[in-house]
């Protein structure tokens, strides 16, 4: 099959009209795709597989796309209907069947993902999720990374000292990135966010909309105004547009050929809108007779690309009925062999479930990151703020690692570079990225559109190519549009692809309240919503030195990291430290004893560290209670050993955080202490947090809502008295 395919691709690109041999090969691929679907449907009915969604009706468009592109050279972000594309790129029916049964030998995911969720590093097909449209932003970031490596090939060099040791980089100056969705999925904001950046940066992304007229049961005219996506996107600058009969493989191939040529030439992105049809219901869980009248379904069947192509081969005397039957039998045999193989394949091992949640390669809790004590800080060095030392770390790391890009809202000094001759530059609303664009240039430090999913989605695309995006979400309060990308893509890519792909992005986010007037939308906490996500590291330093060392570990490590920076701590006087040098790192999962004590353990982090310290000092002075304070520093992973050692010593424990009490971070810590250290406790585990409400604007309300040193002191006294 490999030979037939590559010869088809070779002559297709040169020929003016498709020779019979290639038409037969196209039909064979379309048929193979349909027969794999049919066999899966049978297996699902026999309960031998557990889910089925077909590409039936999309085969012509998908084969046309595949033949215009180059597997293992171009990049692919397809969706679940692209079975024929995957086959035409080199994915085999056996590989598809192995995924359908959830075999250990399922190449794409090792039994973790549903069928049709393709992935193949060899073919440059990136693992896809079930979330519609998210992958378009990955495609954009992937194209940006390809361009970056082409302009800076030295950035692809390997080094053994950080995540780069595990990221092989390949790139080609004229590569194209293919990304497809259904027409219904174009209603997602992320569709428009992807087109925005591809257009603005003239990226070689080939967007394909496979329009079958329905999104499950919702007809196209209910999804979008006017019912035609081509009309809606027509005014995006820099695009090549094509609208094509996606049931005609030759017309589709031609449309893709022109689109690919445009992208390869570096002229900008392309948009191919193919009108295809749905030969079956949406999936095997759907019955389209419930919402489509019979006449409509029958009319649609007349457009079935497989039926039309077969008729054409006969009509044009390319194949006889007997030859078609022979071809069909050979395809059947191939599919049967694939099914037989899959049904006897080994199943995944339960013991391996937790593999690839995080990187196997590089452990950020390891001694490799414990350089804290090796660095010598000059005794006369000036103390610097947390904001300064984060900025210093970003400068150091960007100097050291050419694969780092920094972007987000307003992070550049000035997007219009010429302005920098006259102005100082902004460098972030909190000035944390000040001077980076001036030192490293606008290719590496730039402003994003005001779209948080765009920021994180593109970062995933950059990172899976081996780059290290260190992006900023301007305020934690506005991270929510990116939550979908964080929860369903960023954190899970490595696990769902069984370790084939990874996207070790760093997301820096100013968080928290105590701002006096910060109000609802500039004071939020909510870290436990992120520590609840496997695959994501969550860090929250409380002082300048920790921020510097932990950010360095975040950047050098091989996992995605959410780096939470408390705004109130950025420029405090009490948490400053001298600059510790360009290699100062702190491992994750190691708490710091802020204050040793013997009567009570206070587990905390972030802005509650200085507030807890105030409370503890008053407890000592006024009540002779000696409180031991542990600053967790990283929230996932967290330092259970230090908590346990301290609680065994003091027998009393209080967990204090700024976020709301109910369902907060402290609930997990308290539950684990109660469960595992029950015998060591002389009192119930207590918690301090904010009221279960929002943070209000008026300072007397804000003070009452957020925990204060008084609140903590009262809890200490109650607990000691118990
Ligand atoms: C973000 C998201 N929302 C909802 C769903 C559930 N869902 C799966 S497919 C689908 C319809 C997609 O329609 P369309 O984009 O037209 O693609 P088609 O299946 O018709 O090819 C929906 C709503 C999902 N997978 N992801
Ligand atoms: Mg559709």
> Which of 215, 273, 286 for mutating ligand 1's site (highest number of atoms within 8 Å of CB)?
215
Regarding the beta carbon of 114 and ligand 1, being less than 6 Å apart is answered: no
Q: Is 129 in the pocket of ligand 1 (CB under 6 A)?
A: no
CB of 81 within 6 A of ligand 1: the answer is yes
Q: Is 210 in the pocket of ligand 1 (CB under 6 A)?
A: yes
* Residue 258 burial by Cβ neighbours in a 10 Å radius (0-12, 13-18, 19+): middle
> Residue 700 contacts by C-beta under 8 Å, 6 or more apart in sequence?
none
CA distance 290 to 618: 70
Catalytic residues: 522
Residue 220 CA: which ligand 1 atom is closest?
Answer: 16
The β-bridge partners of 475 are none
Question: Which tokens go with 559?
Answer: 């996992």
DSSP secondary structure letter of residue 487: I
3-class SS shares of the chain: helix, strand, coil, % to 5: 45, 15, 40
pLDDT single digits (tens) 599-614: 999 999 999 999 999 9
Compute the distance between CA of residue 612 and CA of residue 462 in angstroms, rounded to an integer.
40
Q: Let me know: does 386 contact 570? Beta carbons within 8 Å.
A: yes
Q: Whose CA is nearest to atom 8 of ligand 1?
A: 132
Within a 10 A sphere around the Cβ of 631, how many other Cβ atoms? 26
Measured in Å, residue 275 CA sits from the centre of ligand 2 at 10
pLDDT, tens digit, for every residue of 632-667?
999 999 999 999 999 999 999 999 999 999 999 999
Question: What are the pLDDT digits (tens) for 551-584?
Answer: 999 999 999 999 999 999 999 998 999 999 999 9
φ, ψ dihedrals at 234, nearest 5°:
-60, -25
Ligand 1 atom 25, closest CA: 131
Find the 373 Cα to ligand 1 centroid distance in Å.
Answer: 52
How high is the pLDDT of residue 380? 67
Any ligand 1 atom below 6 A from CB of 224: no
- Alpha-carbon separation of residue 571 from 30, 64, 387, 389, 614 (angstroms): 63, 58, 6, 11, 18
* pLDDT for res 6: 45
Higher-pLDDT residue of 368, 10:
368
What atom of ligand 1 comes closest to residue 282's alpha carbon?
A: 19
pLDDT over 80 at 10, yes or no: no
Pair 305, 60: CB distance under 8 Å: yes
Distance 553 CA to ligand 2 centre (A): 44
Of the pLDDT bands very low, low, confident and very high (cuts 50, 70, 90), residue 9 is low
Compute the average pLDDT of residues 463-489.
98
Q: What is the best residue among 52, 80, 82, 184 to mutate for testing ligand 1's pocket, by most ligand atoms within 8 Å of CB?
A: 184
Task: Give the span between the Cα atoms of 101 and 356, in whole angstroms.
Answer: 21
Q: Is 181 in the pocket of ligand 1 (CB under 6 A)?
A: yes
pLDDT at position 7 is 46
Q: What is the DSSP letter of 696?
A: P
As a whole number, mean pLDDT of residues 447-464 equals 98
Which atom of ligand 1 is least distant from the CA of 212?
20
What 8-state DSSP symbol labels residue 489?
I
CB under 5 Å of ion ligand 2: residues: 182-184, 212, 215
Residue 461 has pLDDT above 80, yes or no: yes
Give pLDDT, residue 371.
84
pLDDT in tens, 271-304: 999 999 999 999 999 999 999 999 999 999 999 9
What is the helix (H) or strand (E) element at residue 674, kind and residue range?
Answer: helix 665-676
Helices (H), 344-419: 386-400
Rounded (10°) CA dihedral 330, 335, 338, 343: -130
The pLDDT tens digits of the residues spanning 130-165 come to 999 999 999 999 999 999 999 999 999 999 989 999
Using pLDDT thresholds of 50, 70 and 90, give the confidence band for residue 3.
Answer: very low
pLDDT of 375 strictly over 60: no
User: Which of 670, 686, 600, 614 has its CA nearest to residue 638?
Assistant: 670
Ligand 1 atom 13 nearest Cα: 215
pLDDT (tens digit, 9 = 90+) per residue, 187-213?
999 999 999 999 999 999 999 999 999
SS3 577: strand
Query: 576: buried, middle or exposed (CB in 10 Å: 19+, 13-18, 0-12)?
Result: middle
- Nearest ligand 1 atom to alpha carbon 131: 26
Distance (Å) from CA 87 to ligand 2 centroid: 21
Ligand 1 lined by 185 (C-beta under 6 Å): yes
Query: Which 3 state secondary structure label does DSSP give 627?
Result: strand
Q: How far is CA 589 from the centre of its chain?
A: 23
Q: Is the CB of 215 under 6 A from ligand 1?
A: yes
Cβ–ligand 1 distance for 252 under 6 Å, the answer: no
Cβ within 8 Å of residue 201, ≥6 positions away: 144
Q: What is the pLDDT of residue 496?
A: 98
Ligand positioned closest to the Cα atom of 81: 1
Q: For residue 132, which atom of ligand 1 is closest to its CA? A: 26
Q: Please give the Cα distance from 68 to 81 (Å, whole number).
A: 18
Report the candidate in 491, 474, 398 with the shortest Cα–Cα distance to residue 436.
398
The CA 291 to ligand 2 mean position distance, Å, reads 14
3-state secondary structure 312-355: HHHHCCCCCHHHHHHHHHHHHHHHHHHHHHHHCCCCCCHHHCCC
Is the pLDDT reported for residue 378 higher than 90?
Answer: no
Atom of ligand 1 nearest to the CA of 211: 16
pLDDT one-digit tens code per residue, 301-323: 999 999 999 999 999 999 999 99
Residue located via tokens 């590409």: 55
pLDDT at residue 376, rounded to an integer: 67
Q: CA-to-CA distance for 485 and 135, rounded, in angstroms?
A: 9
Strand 537-539 and strand 634-636: pairing? antiparallel
User: CB of 630 within 8 A of CB of 642?
Assistant: yes
Ligand 1 near 281 CB (within 6 A): no
Q: What gap in Å lies between CA 684 and CA 699, rounded to an integer?
A: 33
216 in ligand 1 pocket by Cβ < 6 Å? yes
Pocket test for ligand 1, best of 185, 187, 227, 285 (most atoms within 8 A of CB): 185
pLDDT band at 4 (very low <50, low <70, confident <90, very high): very low
pTM for this entry:
0.97
To the nearest whole number, what is the mean pLDDT of the chain? 96
Give the integer Cα–Cα distance in Å for 290 and 263.
42
- What number is the average pLDDT over the span 490-518? 98
Query: How large is the average pLDDT for residues 710-722?
Result: 96
33 C-alpha vs ligand 2 centroid, how far in Å?
18
Q: Is 640 exposed, middle or buried (0-12, 13-18, 19+ CB in 10 A)?
A: middle
In sequence order, what are the beta bridge partners of 631? 592, 604
Residue 518 in contact with ligand 1 by CB distance below 6 A = no
Ligand 1: residue of 132, 134, 281 to mutate (most ligand atoms within 8 A of CB) is 132
Residue whose pair of structure tokens reads 């049961």 in the numeric block: 217
| 666-703 per-position pLDDT tens digit | 999 999 999 999 999 999 999 999 999 999 999 999 99
Q: How confident is the model at residue 1 (pLDDT cuts 50, 70, 90)?
A: very low
pLDDT in tens, 230-276: 999 999 999 999 999 999 999 999 999 999 999 999 999 999 999 99
């Amino acid at each position: 099959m490999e030979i037939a395919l590559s010869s088809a691709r070779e002559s297709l690109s040169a020929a003016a009209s498709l020779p019979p041999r290639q038409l037969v090969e196209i039909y064979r691929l379309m048929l193979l795709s349909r027969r794999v679907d049919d066999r899966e449907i049978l297996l699902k009915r026999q309960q031998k597989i557990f889910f089925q969604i077909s590409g039936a009706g999309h085969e012509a468009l998908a084969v046309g796309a595949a033949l215009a592109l180059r597997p293992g050279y171009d990049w692919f972000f397809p969706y679940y209907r692209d079975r024929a594309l995957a086959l035409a790129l080199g994915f085999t029916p056996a590989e598809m069947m192995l995924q359908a049964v959830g075999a250990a030998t399922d190449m794409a995911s090792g039994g973790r993902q549903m069928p049709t969720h393709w992935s193949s590093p060899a073919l440059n097909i990136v693992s896809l999720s079930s979330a519609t449209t998210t992958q378009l932003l990955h495609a954009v970031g992937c194209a940006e990374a390809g361009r970056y490596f082409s302009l800076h090939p030295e950035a692809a060099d390997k080094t053994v000292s950080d995540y780069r040791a595990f990221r092989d980089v390949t790139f080609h100056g004229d590569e194209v990135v293919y990304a497809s969705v259904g027409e219904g999925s174009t209603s997602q904001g992320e569709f428009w966010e992807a087109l925005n950046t591809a257009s603005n940066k003239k990226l070689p992304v080939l967007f394909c909309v496979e329009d079958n007229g329905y999104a499950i049961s919702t007809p196209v005219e209910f999804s979008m105004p006017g019912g035609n996506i081509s009309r809606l996107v027509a005014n995006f600058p820099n695009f090549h547009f094509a609208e094509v009969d996606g049931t005609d493989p030759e017309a589709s191939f031609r449309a893709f050929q022109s689109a690919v040529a445009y992208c390869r030439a570096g002229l900008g992105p392309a948009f191919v809108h193919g009108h295809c049809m749905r030969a079956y219901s949406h999936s095997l869980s759907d019955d389209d007779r419930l919402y489509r009248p019979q006449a409509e379904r029958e009319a649609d069947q007349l457009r079935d690309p497989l039926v039309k192509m077969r008729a054409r081969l006969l009509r044009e005397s390319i194949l006889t009925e007997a030859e078609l039957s022979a071809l069909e039998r050979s395809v059947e045999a191939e599919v049967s062999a694939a099914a037989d193989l899959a049904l006897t394949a080994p199943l995944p091992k339960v013991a391996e479930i937790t593999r690839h949640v995080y990187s196997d390669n590089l452990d950020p809790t390891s001694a490799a990151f414990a350089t804290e004590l090796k660095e010598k800080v000059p005794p006369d060095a000036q103390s610097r703020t947390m904001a300064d030392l984060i900025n210093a770390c970003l400068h150091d790391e960007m100097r050291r690692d050419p694969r780092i890009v920094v972007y987000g809202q307003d992070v550049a000094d000035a997007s219009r570079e010429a302005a920098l001759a006259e102005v100082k530059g902004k460098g972030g609303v909190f000035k944390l990225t000040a001077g980076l664009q001036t030192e490293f240039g606008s290719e590496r430090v730039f402003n994003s559109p005001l779209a948080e999913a765009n920021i994180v989605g593109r970062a995933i695309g950059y990172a899976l190519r081996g780059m290290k995006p260190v992006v900023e979400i301007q305020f934690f309060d506005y991270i929510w549009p990116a939550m979908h990308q964080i929860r369903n893509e960023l954190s899970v890519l490595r696990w769902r692809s069984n370790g084939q792909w990874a996207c070790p992005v760093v997301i820096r986010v100013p968080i928290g309240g105590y701002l006096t007037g910060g109000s609802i939308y500039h004071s939020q906490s909510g870290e436990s919503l992120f520590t609840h996500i496997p695959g994501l590291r969550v860090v929250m330093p409380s002082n300048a030195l920790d921020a510097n060392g932990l950010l360095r570990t975040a950047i050098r490590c091989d996992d995605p990291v959410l780096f939470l920076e408390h705004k109130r701590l950025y420029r405090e006087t009490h948490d400053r430290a001298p600059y510790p040098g360009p290699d100062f790192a702190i491992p994750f999962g190691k708490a710091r004893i802020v204050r040793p004590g013997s009567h009570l353990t206070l587990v905390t982090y972030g802005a509650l560290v200085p507030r807890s310290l105030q409370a503890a000092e008053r407890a000592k002075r006024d009540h002779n209670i000696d409180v031991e304070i542990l600053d967790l520093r990283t929230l996932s992973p967290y330092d259970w050993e230090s908590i346990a050692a301290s609680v065994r010593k003091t027998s009393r424990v209080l967990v204090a955080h700024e976020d709301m009490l109910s369902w907060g971070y402290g609930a997990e810590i308290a539950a684990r202490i109660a469960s595992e250290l029950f015998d060591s406790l002389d009192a119930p585990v207590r918690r301090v947090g904010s009221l279960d409400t929002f943070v209000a604007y008026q300072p007397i309300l804000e003070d009452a809502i957020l925990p204060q040193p008084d609140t903590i002191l009262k809890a200490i006294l109650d607990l000691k008295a118990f």
